[in-house]
Amino acid sequence: MSSFSNEVLGKYVSSINRFKSELEKPFIGRGEEALVITLALMTSEHVVLIGEPGTAKSALARRAADLLRARFFKYLLTKYTEPDELFGSLDILAFKVGKYVRVTKNKLPEAEIAFLDEIFNASSAILNTLLTLLNERVIYDGYNEISVPLWTLISASNTVPEEQEYQALYDRFLFRQFVKPVSEDKWLQLVEASWKIEKEGYRAPQPVLSMEDLKYINSMILSIDVSKVKHTLIKMYAVLEDQGIHLTDRRKGKVLKTIAAHALLNGRTTAVEEDLAVLKYVAPSTREEAEKVYIILLEELGTRERLMSELQEIEDNLREVKALLLKTKDFDPRLVEYLRGLEKARERINRIIESTTDDNIRARSQDILAELTEVIDEVRRRLLV
């Protein structure tokens, strides 16, 4: 049961969706990346974008920070980056009187949102500190334990880390998105978008969300009813393991919360099967696995894409029958066959309308249903049935 009013629900759902669409706005083909970053922020998890240089990874992370009213830290890591550059250096005056404290002002320990570019360049000294920072939100420097306010770390890397020493760090990124270069059909848009930026410059947007908003949204996630999808999720874990895609126990445990976040983002207080689509961003460890998971989800879940292509097919058939009705003024033997198909399609559409939670799919189904009913009536009239 949800513990907030519809009004409150509506307000936060629209502000988090506004964040997502503002994030995506200047980019071409970066809708999924915007979605993954939004989900990470809603769940207070960490996200890594993996892809070749020049695919707007850094630009997306920077824009996400611009859209949030939050304390932000960003840094580009190289093999030679020293821990002090991220965590702050030793306070010399304090050290002289026997105290060991770091000056953390404007450094990672004070950040609510951070962006670390080329994260898998981290040296082992940095790596160790990062592991507890990401997991427990504390920094232990040998003398003191400092609690840190880090909410979400956004990272970017050109490749998946292969070295064993980075696997623990890699596992701490619940969300991993494999960024692809813009596909050929969008090259013109890409060129035009870049032209616009060259001409007008990049303008930092006004923040649309505060940390308080994010924290409230995060608390709403726990009120989402996930009882309907729990068992399907367990089944999906088995399917994925069968296909050689392994989630660590940490990840298996956390998926439910990302499913709930996806439901909330779509304005629902109950999670449904299509919310399991988030597995696409949590299950794969490599680009190859990401392709595999995508196919598995399409096959296993009644996803939006599948429904949309089914509706498209029904519409195409409908158009064909309409064309025939226009051509012939009276009886045509093919109409008998068509009538059967149309009636089947109508049953199917009714079932989709009953079960879908997607407003777009429902609206489109209702439009098709109206048209379908009209055509069925006309065919029946011609067949005198």
Ligand X SMILES: Nc1ncnc2c1ncn2[C@@H]1O[C@H](COP(=O)(O)OP(=O)(O)O)[C@@H](O)[C@H]1O
Which of 156, 282, 345, 368 binds ligand X (CB under 6 A)? It is: 156
Q: Note whether 58 binds Mg ion by CB under 5 A.
A: yes
Per partner kind, with CB cut-offs from 5 to 8 A, the member of Mg ion, ligand X, none near residue 43 is none
Question: How far, in Å, CA of 233 to CA of 282, rounded?
Answer: 13
Strand bridging mode 102-103 / 145-147 = unpaired
Which of 139, 182, 221, 368 binds ligand X (CB under 6 A)? It is: 182
Nearer CB in complex with Mg ion: 65/236? 65
Sequence-ordered alpha helix ranges (H) in the chain: 6-24, 31-43, 57-66, 83-87, 92-96, 124-136, 167-171, 187-200, 211-221, 230-242, 249-265, 279-282, 287-300, 304-327, 334-355, 359-383
Q: Note whether 157 binds Mg ion by CB under 5 A.
A: no
Segment 42 to 71, residues that bind ligand X, using CB under 6 A: 53-59
Segment 217 to 276, residues that bind ligand X, using CB under 6 A: none
Question: How far, in Å, CA of 336 to CA of 349, rounded?
Answer: 20
CB 277 within 8 A of CB 297: yes
Residue 62 Cβ vs ligand X, minimum distance, rounded to whole Å: 8
Which residue sits closest to Mg ion, CB atoms considered?
58
Which of 14, 135, 194, 248 binds ligand X (CB under 6 A)? It is: 194
> Of 1-9, 24-32, 70-78, 166-174, which part binds ligand X (CB under 6 A)?
24-32
Question: How far, in Å, CA of 170 to CA of 176, rounded?
Answer: 9
Residue 342 Cβ vs ligand X, minimum distance, rounded to whole Å: 42
Nearer CB in complex with ligand X: 186/246? 186
Question: How far, in Å, CA of 156 to CA of 175, rounded?
Answer: 12
Segment 124 to 153, residues that bind Mg ion, using CB under 5 A: none
Question: In sequence order, which residues have a C-beta less than 8 Å from that of residue 379 and are 6 or more positions away?
Answer: 321, 325, 335, 338, 339, 342
The DSSP secondary structure of 218-255, one letter per residue, reads: HHHHTTSB-TTTHHHHHHHHHHHHHTT----HHHHHHH
- Total residues contacting ligand X (rule CB under 6 A)? 17
Which of 20, 30, 63, 251 binds ligand X (CB under 6 A)? It is: 30
Which of 23, 28, 236, 311 binds ligand X (CB under 6 A)? It is: 28
Per partner kind, with CB cut-offs from 5 to 8 A, the member of Mg ion, ligand X, none near residue 293 is none
Interaction site with ligand X (CB under 6 A): 27-30, 53-59, 156, 182, 190, 193-194, 197
Interaction site with Mg ion (CB under 5 A): 58
